Structure 1
Amino acid sequence: MGFYQFKRSQKIPATIDEVWDFISSPANLKEITPDYMGFDITSEDLPEKMYPGMIISYIVKPLLGIPTTWVTEITKVTDKAYFIDEQRVGPYKLWHHQHFIEPIEGGVMMRDIVSYQPPFGILGSIMNSLVIRKKLKEIFDYRVQAVNKRFGEFK
């Protein structure tokens, strides 16, 4: 039963305020998620900005187009610096996603650390090697492109 981390960094040519306003709004999640994931927020009356304790529910189709309920809680938020979301209901035994932003010369550095544990013990570890890790890379590759489309590429 494996425990894994996936890390990604991206430089963005925008201000810390612009990037924070974008990433801290639950409404923008769909924009940075590939269409094939069938990502739909099912929570009603979400506020414009996340806050600690906020619960967000989704339907996603991460594998073979099979709809899966995913519920995350925003557990920590430090304005214009970071937030953490943790799975409460969903496909993983453990999902802990840290989102960091910090000003750098010419823009913002955005970093993600996803700590996760697939379900099903050794079978989950095999699935991580064959599918899950590649799927996470693909999803975050898409997100890099979506953020570049929104803010431009860092030069």
Structure 2
Amino acid sequence: MVKITRHSGIYTLESEQFLKISLKEAWEFFSSPTNLTRITPEYMGFEITSPYEERAFPGQIITYKIGVLPGVKSNWVTEITQVVENQMFVDEQRFGPYAMWHHEHWFTETDDGVMMFDRVSYKLPFGRLGRWFHFLIEKRLIAIFTFRYKILASLFS
């Protein structure tokens, strides 16, 4: 379901999930920033703080407040850098808790629904100190993507 690998100081999280919905339904749901709140654990206090369009588009800037660690909230600014309608989009952190964050969202139509694939490449701040604490970040990211998996399974079962 969710795996994380490390290479050259960068971590890559990969997750895939089959959804029994049409490609059009998947695209409408995932390309809308509004739905980020629905698939993020409530304990993270996720809140979009910028005005936004209903659909993702290249160059779109979205700002949020999010709990990155228990009791620690951070401002986060992402930019939608690529969009290929009904196929994929990419969001990248411009300012926030990571030294780097590049999140690819891929959608492939199948006979029975849609296979959704996420690839997040990220780098932690603080050099060696950040790497020592990666186990906390890894645990949190796995929990977030596991939560998302369960929510999506219940929404689209």
Provide TM-score, normalisation by structure 2. Answer: 0.93
Q: What is the identity, as a one-letter code, of the residue corresponding to 1:114?
A: V
1:16 is aligned, of 3, 18, 23, to 23
Deviation of 1:58 after TM superposition, in Å, equals: 0.2
Q: Kindly indicate whether the alpha-carbon contact (under 8 Å) linking 1:2 and 1:117 is maintained by their aligned counterparts in 2.
A: yes
The percent identity for this pair of structures is: 45
What's the offset of the Cα at 1:92?
Answer: 0.3
In 2: Cα distance, 1:139 partner to 1:7 partner: 13
Partner of 2:131: 125
1:135 and 2:140 equivalent?
A: yes
Q: Deviation above 3 Å: which 4+ runs of structure 1?
A: none
Task: Return the structure number with greater strand share.
Answer: 2
1:144 equivalenced with 2:149 (yes/no): yes
Q: Secondary structure at the match of 1:98?
A: strand
TM-score for both structures, normalised by structure 1: 0.94
Matched, 1:36 2:50: no
- Taking the aligned partners of 2:17 and 2:113, their CA distance within structure 1 comes to 10
Q: CA deviation at 1:65?
A: 2.1
Aligned residues: 150
Q: How far apart are residue 64 of structure 1 and its match?
A: 1.8
The Cα RMSD (Å) is 0.9
Q: Which residue does 1:76 correspond to in 2?
A: 82
Aligned residue in 1 for 2:104: 98
Structure 1 unaligned segments of length 5 or more: list them.
none
